[in-house]
Amino acid sequence: MALKIVKGSIDRMFDKNLQDLVRGIRNHKEDEAKYISTCIDEIKQELKQDNIAVKANAVCKLTYLQMLGYDVSWAAFNIVEVMSSSKFTYKRIGYLAASQCFHESTDVIMLTTNQIRKDLSSPNQYDTGVALTGLSCFVTPDLARDLANDIMTLMSHTKPYIRKKAVLIMYKVFLKYPESLRPAFPRLKEKLEDPDPGVQSAAVNVICELARRNPKNYLSLAPLFFKLMTSSTNNWVLIKIIKLFGALTPLEPRLGKKLIEPLTNLIHSTSAMSLLYECVNTVIAVLISLSSGMPNHSASIQLCVQKLRILIEDSDQNLKYLGLLAMSKILKTHPKSVQSHKDLILQCLDDKDESIRLRALDLLYGMVSKKNLMEIVKKLMLHVDKAEGTTYRDELLTKIIDICSQSNYQYITNFEWYISILVELTRLEGTRHGHLIASQMLDVAIRVKAIRVFAVAQMATLLDNAHLLTGNMQRNGICEVLYAAAWICGEFSEHLENPMQTLEAMLRPKVATLPGHIQAVYVQNAAKLFATVLKSQEGNTDSTAAQETSQLMIDRLPLFVQSANLEVQERASCILQLVKYIQKLQQKDVEVAEEVTALFAGELNPVAPKAQKKVPVPEGLDLDAWINEPPSESESEDEQPKAIFAKEEPKHSRPRHTEVDEKELARRREARKQEQANNPFYIKASPSSQKVYQEAPGVEHIPVVQIDLSVPLKVPGLPMSDQYVKLEEERRQKARADKKKKEKKKRKEKHSGRGKKHDSGPESEEDIAPAHQVDIVTEEMPENALPSDDDDKDPNDPHKALDIDLDKPLADSEKLPVRSHRAAEALKSPAEDGETENAASQEPKKKSSKEKREKKKDKDRERKKSKEEKKKKKKHKHEEKEEDLLGGQADESVVQSDETSMVAEPPTSTSAEVSDLDFWLSNAPVPSNTQEAVTVAAAAEAAPEPEAPSGAAPDSEPDEPKDTEMEETKSSKHKKKKQKKEKEEKEKKKKKKHHHHHHHSDGGGEESVQNGTVEEEEPLPPMSNYCLLAENSYIKMMMEDIEQVYDIQGNLQDGSQVVVSVIFENKCDSFLKSMEFNVLDSLNSKLQRPEGSGPHDGLTVPFQLPPGVSNEARFVFTVQSIVMSQKLKGTLTFIVKNEDSSTHEKLDFKLHFTCTSYLITTPCYSDAFAKLLESGDLKGSSVRLEGVNMPFHHLLARICFHHHFSVVERIDSCASMYSRSIQGHHVCLLVKTSGQTVCIDAKCDEPTLLGNVLDEIKQTFSQC
C-alpha cells in the first residue's frame, strides 16, 4: 500500500503540472491551439485515474485553460470530486475551479450541498474558509436555501476569519434566497458591533449593499451607523457608511441635517482624499435632499464647491476626474454655485485626458444660459474641428445638440443660428450621429413655425450640395441629414424660393446611391414639390412649363422604380403612374394643380412622444376582455386517445373555429395596419422620424472609413454660424440701444426723476428677447390625458426581491430551513402543512393592519417629537429640574406596573425602533412649521408614552413597556444595548417633563395654566389599561382598553371599526394550540371575519402558546351605534396538548365595550372650545361625585387616561376637558372640585352618549 502511494507520487512527478502546461504553451506559440488540445486529452486521461492527486493536478490545469477561454464545464463532476477531497490542498484546487466555472445551470452543483455543509462545519477554519469563498461565486437558489442556516450559524463562529467570510457571503445568499433576509437580519445587525474590525467591516459592507437597493428598509439603522461613523477609524468602513448615508438621506431629510455637521468636520479633518471625496459626495446628496433652505446651507455648498475646486485643480488626473464628477451632481440643484467656476471647467475641456474632457462636457450642459449659449457652443465647435478620434467628436456633437435642445430649446434665442450650427455639423465626416442632427432639424422646423422659411432655404442648399455630404462614401452616417432636408423641403415647399431647382436636385441620378429609406423620402417629397411647382406654373398662362415639369418627373422616376428597395420602388411606381395621369390631363388642358396639392394638404402637428400612451381608455371598454372567445386550453385533451372507443367525433370544432378566428384576426390586423400606414391623417405613436431610422439597416454597423481631406469641406453658400453670432450680438446691441432709447424717452416723459441706471452693467437673462417671435408649438396631447408615470423599474432586478420590511416580527413560517431536503419536507403531514399555511396566510393580514396603525402613530409621534424638541430647547433657559426627576419617577412606576401586568410579547420591535429613529433624528434642530402649541393631553403624563394628539393614539401606550420587557427577556449579551436604550428612554421622559414646564412658561403671563396640568410634586399612582377578561387554570385573557380606528371614509352608515387587543397568557405547563376566538355578534357590533366565513365562525388566533408564554392578538369589530355601551359574549376554544394527551378546552368571556372606548383623545384649543360651547348645539348634563379623595391632578389624569379626554384649560381647581367620539360627537366637561366633592358639568351633542359617559366616569371614581 505504502509502495503504491510512493509509486503514485513518483509517477506524478512526470505528469505535467500547471507550470509545465504554461511552459508548454509558451513554447508552442505557433500551434498553441493544437498543443492545448493534446493537453486537454492528457487531462481527460488524468481525470480518469483514481489518484486524487492526479485529478487535482488535472483540475488545476483546467482552471488555467478556462482563463484562456476554453470551456471546461465537461469536467464539472471531476471538479466536485476534487472539492470533496479530505486534503486541504486538493480541496482548495477544487473550490477554485468550481468558483471559476460553475454557474446556476451547472447541474452537478446539486451534488455539492452536503459536501459544502461538511466543509462549513469542518474543525479546520481554512476548509470552512475555502468553502465559503467558493460558494460565494457559485451559490444557487437551492444552495442558498439549503445552506442559509449553516452559514448563519457561522456568523457567530469563534474565529473572526470565518465570521467575516460568513457575513459577507450572506449577501449572496440573500440575493439568491430572499426569504432568508428577515431571519438572518438581526444577527447581521449584531455583527455591526463585532469586536473584530474585519467582521464589522464585512457587516457594514453587506448592509450597505442591501440598503443601496432598498434604502427605506434600512432607515432604522441610521442611529447605529451614525454611531459607527463617529467612532470608527477604518477608512473603508467610513467610506461605506458615508456612501450609505448618501443613499438614505433622500428618504429622510432630518437625517441629512444631522449628518451635515459631522461630515463637515470630517471634510476638514481627514487627510485621506478618498474619504474627503465621499464626504463631499454625501454632503451634496444631503443638500439635494433638503429642499428648503437652512441657515448654513449655502456655507455647506460653498465648502463642497471649494473642496471640489481644489480637487479639479490638482495635478492628479484621478482627483480632477472625481472632482468634475461630483461637481456635476451639485450642478443639478445648485447650478449657480457651479457656474462661478465656468473658467475652470472650460479649461478642463482642453485637458489631454479624454475622460476628463467628457466629464467637463457633462458639466457644460448645466452652465449654459441664454447669454452664453452661443459662446459656449462656439467653443465646442472649435473642439469639434480639433478633435481627433471619432468617439470624442461624436460625443461633442451629441453634447452640442443636448445643450442646445435642453428644456425645449429654452436657451436658444436665435433659431437661425441653431439651424446654421446644425448645418455646420453636417460637415463632420464619419459621425454616427447623422440621424441626431436630422431629427433636430425636423424638430426645429416643425415646431418653430417662424424658422421654416430659413430652414427650407438651408435645406434646399443642402440638397443642392448633397454630393458634398455623401462624397465617395454613400454609406456615411451623415447622409441621414438628407432625409431631414428632403422632408423639410417637401413638406414646407411653399416657402421655397426656387422649387424647381430643388426638385431637380432631388431627382438627380446620384440619389439612387443613397440608402433606401432616404430615397423613399426623396421620392415622396419630390411628389410634394411637384405639386407646388405645378401650382405656381399653372398660374401662368404658359402651360408648357407645367408639362415640362411632368415630363421631368416621368423621365427621372423610372430610376427609382428600379430600386432594389421595396419602399422606394412602391412609392416611385405609384407616383409615376400618378404623374402620367396628370400629364394626360394636362395635355387635355385640364387644370390639375388644385387636386394634386390636395393630396398633400393638411398640416402636421407635433405630437408628444407619450401622447398615444396617454389616451385614456374610454369608459366601458375593457381592454383585457376577450373580443372572441379565448381558444380553449384543453387542446391537449383532444390529443389524448380518449376517443378511441367513443364513436363520436372528437370536438375539433371549437379549436378550429378559434384558429380561423385568429387567422382572420391577424389578417384584419394587417389590413388595419396598412390602412393606417396609408392614411395620412392617422397619427402614429412616434411622430418623429427616428423610428424609421431604427428600422433602417444599422447605420452604426457600417464601417466608417476615415478620409483625410486636406481641403476643409465647406459647403458653398452655407452660412457660417459665426456670422449669426455676430448678427445676434448686433441685434442684441440694437435691442439694448432701442431699450435705452425707449427708457430715455420714458424718463424724459417722467421728467427724469430718480436716475436708475438701467443701461449700465451686463444685460440680465431676461433682457434677451428671442430674435424673431418663435412660437414653439407645444406638442399635442390627447384630451384628458392621464398623468401616468412610467414605471421604469426592471422587473427582473434581483434586488427587487430583497425589498423586504426588516422590522416586522418574524413569523414561524419564515424560519430558515434547517438541514432538510426537499424530500424531507414533502413528507410533512398534510395537517401540519395546512397549519403553517394557515398561519402564514393569517400573519400578513394582521400585520398589515397593525402596520397601518403604527405608521399613523409614527407620524403623530414624529410631529410631537419635533415639538417636544423645540420645547426642550427653549426649556433650557428655565431650569427647574427637581420636578422633572419626580415626574420621571412617576413614569417609571407606571412602566413597572405595566411590566407586571404585561407579559412577554412577540418581538415587535417596529414601533420601538421607528420611534427610536425618530427620537434620534429629532435631536437635530428641526425647523418645523411653527404651529401654536398644540394641546397635549394631560394623559400623556400618566401614560408611559404621551398620547398622540390625534388619531388612534391609545395603542401607543403599551409599546414602550413592551419594549423594555422584551429587552429584558433577551439574553444578557445585549446588556450594553439595553442600557443604551434605557438611557434613551429616560431621556425621553425627561424631555416630556421639559415640555410641560415649557407650557408653564408659555402661559406665563396669564393666570391660567394651559394644558400642562400635572406639575404637582406627587407622583401619579400607576394605572393600567388592561383589564382581565377571563381566566381559567389554563389561560388568562386580558383585554386592553379598546382602541378605535377612525372610520376613514367617515361613513356613518358603514359603522366604525374598533380594534380590541387581547393578551393570551398560557398559565399551565402544556402547549396551547388551535385557539379559536369567537364572539356572538349583536345587532350593533360584529366581529370582522375573513371573507367567506360564516357569521358564526370563530377566528383562529394566529399563534400557539408554549407554557408560560403570552401573546397578543387583535380583533376588529364593526360597531353601528356608539351611544350605548354594550357587552358581547364570546368563547375561546383551544386544545391543551400534553406529552401524552390533548384535550379540547373552552373559556367564556364577556367583552365590554364602554362608551368611553369610543372616545378619541383629541386636543382642542381653548378658543375653539369656547366657540363650541357657545354654539348651543350641545346639550348639557351634570354629575356630582362625593368623597373623592385624591389630588385634583390625579383626578384629571384619571379622566384623561381612562376616558380619553384631554385638558383644554385649567385654572386652580377647575378644568375644562374635551374629547370626541369616533363618529364625531363632541364631549365637553367642566370639572370643579371643592373639598371631596367633584362636580362635573358636561355637554355633548348626543345626550345618550353623554349620559353613559358620565355614568362610566362616576363608576371609575366609585371604584377607588
Partner 1 sequence: MIKAILIFNNHGKPRLSKFYEHYTEDTEQQIIRETFHLVSKRDENVCNFLEGGMLIGGSDYKLIYRHYATLYFVFCVDSSESELGILDLIQVFVETLDKCFENVCELDLIFHVDKVHNILAEMVMGGMVLETNMNEIITQVDAQNKMEKAEAGIAGAPARAVSAVKNMNLPEMPRNINIGDISIKVPNLPSFK
Binding to partner 1 (CB under 8 A) within 303-322 occurs at 314-322
- The Cα–Cα gap between 608 and 882 comes to 69
966: Cβ–Cβ under 8 A, 6 or more apart, which residues? 904, 905, 907, 908, 909, 912
Smallest distance, partner 1 to C-beta of residue 57, A: 10
Give the separation between CA 507 and CA 747, rounded to whole angstroms: 61
Q: Which is nearer to partner 1, 56 or 1208 (CB)?
A: 56
CB 1067 within 8 A of CB 1035: yes
Binding of partner 1 by 209 (CB under 8 A): yes
Q: Provide the minimum distance between the beta carbon of 273 and partner 1 in the complex, in angstroms, as a whole number.
A: 5
- 1170 lines the binding site for partner 1 (CB under 8 A): no
Closer to partner 1 by Cβ: residue 314 or 779: 314
Of 268-276, 556-564, 789-797, 828-836, the segment contacting partner 1 by CB under 8 A is 268-276
Q: What is the C-alpha to C-alpha distance for residues 1072 and 1136, in angstroms, rounded to an integer?
A: 5
867 touches partner 1 by CB under 8 A: no
Which lies closer to partner 1 via its Cβ, residue 246 or residue 1163? 246
Pull the grid cell for residue 478: 451623415
d(CA 489, CA 529) in angstroms, rounded, equals 8
CB 169 within 8 A of CB 132: yes
Residue 212 has a CB neighbour count (10 Å cut-off) of 15
Q: Kindly tell me which of 85 and 1024 has the beta carbon lying closer to partner 1.
A: 85
Nearer to partner 1, 198 or 1098 (CB): 198
Instruction: Centre a 10 Å sphere on the Cβ of residue 671 and count the other Cβ atoms it contains.
Output: 10
Phi, psi of 94 (to 5 degrees): -65, -50
Q: Residue 804 interacts with partner 1 (CB under 8 A)?
A: no
Listed ranges 233-241, 693-701, 868-876, 933-941: which one lies at the site for partner 1 (CB under 8 A): 233-241
Q: Which is nearer to partner 1, 153 or 274 (CB)?
A: 274
Of 5 and 566, the one with the shorter C-beta distance to partner 1 is: 5
754 touches partner 1 by CB under 8 A: no
In this structure, is the dihedral angle defined by the CA atoms of residues 1119, 1125, 1131 and 1134, taken in order, positive or negative?
positive
Tell me how far, at minimum, the Cβ of 230 lies from partner 1, in Å.
Answer: 19
Determine, following the binding rule CB under 8 A, whether residue 110 of this chain makes contact with partner 1.
no
140 binds partner 1 (CB under 8 A): no
Check if the beta carbon of residue 986 is closer than 8 Å to that of residue 921.
no
* CB of 510 closer than 8 Å to CB of 463: no
Q: Which of 3, 68, 621, 827 binds partner 1 (CB under 8 A)?
A: 68
Residue 55 in contact with partner 1, rule: CB under 8 A: no
Q: Which stretch binds partner 1 (CB under 8 A): 15-23, 631-639, 908-916, 1016-1024?
A: 15-23
Binding residue (CB under 8 A) for partner 1 from 189, 212, 614, 758: 212
137 binding partner 1? (CB under 8 A): yes
User: DSSP state, 451?
Assistant: G
20 binds partner 1 (CB under 8 A): yes
Closest to partner 1 by CB, 345 or 1240: 345
Q: Does 96 bind partner 1 (CB under 8 A)?
A: yes
Interacting residue with partner 1 among 62, 80, 92, 1193 (CB under 8 A): 92
**Among the listed residues 35, 236, 1071, 1165, the single contact to partner 1 using CB under 8 A:** 236
Tell me if 1006 contacts partner 1 by CB under 8 A.
Answer: no
Site for partner 1 in 185-204 (CB under 8 A): 198, 201-202
CB of 329 to partner 1, least distance (A): 12
| One of 3, 10, 627, 826 touching partner 1 (CB under 8 A) | 10
| Shortest distance in whole angstroms from residue 1080 CB to partner 1 | 58
Among 28, 35, 42, 70, binds partner 1 (CB under 8 A): 70
Note whether 518 binds partner 1 by CB under 8 A.
Answer: no
1049 secondary structure, DSSP code: T
CB of 397 to partner 1, least distance (A): 18
Residue among 238 and 455 whose Cβ is closer to partner 1: 238
Residue 85's nearest CA partner among 114, 121, 56 is 56
Choosing from 31, 41, 354, 629, the residue that interacts with partner 1 (CB under 8 A) is: 354
Considering the complex, what minimum distance in angstroms separates the CB of residue 168 from partner 1? 5
Given 158, 231, 271, 1053, the residue binding partner 1 (CB under 8 A): 271
Q: Which of 171, 226, 919, 920 binds partner 1 (CB under 8 A)?
A: 171
Q: Please say which residue, 23 or 467, places its beta carbon nearer to partner 1.
A: 23
Whether 1257 contacts 1195, CB under 8 Å: no
Is residue 1225 a contact partner of residue 1249, using CB atoms and an 8 Å limit?
Answer: yes
Please tell me the count of residues contacting partner 1 according to CB under 8 A: 82
Which cell numbers in the block locate residue 1200?
A: 384623561
Cell 371573507 belongs to which residue? 1091
| Choices 267-275, 787-795, 978-986, 1123-1131; region in contact with partner 1 by CB under 8 A | 267-275
Cell of 9: 507520487
Shortest gap between Cβ of 27 and partner 1 (angstroms)? 8
Measured CA to CA, the distance from residue 600 to residue 526 in angstroms comes to 12
**CA-CA distance, 725 to 378, in Å (whole number)?**
9
- The C-alpha cell of 411 is what? 436657451
Q: How far, rounded to the nearest angstrom, does the alpha carbon of residue 753 sit from its chain's CA centroid?
A: 59
Stretch that binds partner 1, among 10-18, 286-294, 725-733, 760-768 (CB under 8 A): 10-18
C-beta separation of 85 from 72 below 8 A: no
d(C-alpha 735, C-alpha 770), whole Å: 11
Rounded to whole angstroms, the maximal C-alpha distance in the chain is: 122
Site string for partner 1, 22-41 (x = CB under 8 A): xx--x---------------
List of residues 6+ apart from 56 with CB closer than 8 A: 82, 85, 89, 90, 93, 94
Distance, in Å, from the CA atom of 152 to the CA atom of 816, rounded to the nearest integer, reads 9
Among positions 177, 185, 277, 920, the unique one binding partner 1 when judged by CB under 8 A: 277
Query: Quick one: CA torsion of 505, 506, 507, 508, rounded to 10 degrees?
Result: 50
Site for partner 1 (CB under 8 A): which residue of 278, 538, 858, 947? 278
165 in contact with partner 1 (CB under 8 A)? yes
Tell me the three-class secondary structure of 471-529, residue by residue: CCCCCCHHHHHHHHHHHHHHHCHHHCCCHHHHHHHHCCHHHHHCCHHHHHHHHHHHHHH
Work out how close the CB of 265 gets to partner 1 at its nearest, in angstroms, rounded to a whole number. Answer: 18
Compare residues 79 and 1045 and give the one whose CB is closer to partner 1: 79
Q: Which of 52, 64, 868, 1063 binds partner 1 (CB under 8 A)?
A: 64
- Closer of 64 and 530 to partner 1 (Cβ): 64
Residue that is written with C-alpha cell 438541514 in the block: 819
Instruction: Specify the amino acid at residue 4.
Output: K
| Site mask for partner 1 (CB under 8 A), range 72-91, x = bound | ---------------xxx--
- Gap between the Cα atoms of 436 and 694, Å rounded: 12
Bridge partners, 1057 (sequence order): 1045, 1118
**Is residue 136 a contact residue for partner 1 (CB under 8 A)?**
yes
- Residue partners of 1060: CB distance under 8 A and separation at least 6: 1039, 1040, 1042, 1043, 1114, 1115, 1116, 1117, 1151
CA distance 1043 to 954: 6
C-beta of 223: minimal distance to partner 1 in Å?
A: 22
Site for partner 1 (CB under 8 A): which residue of 40, 43, 52, 60?
A: 60
Q: b/e string for 138-154 if b means 16 or more Cβ within 10 A?
A: bbbebbbbbbbbbbbeb
Quick one: angle between helices 109-120 and 76-83, nearest 10? 10
Nearer to partner 1, 117 or 172 (CB): 172
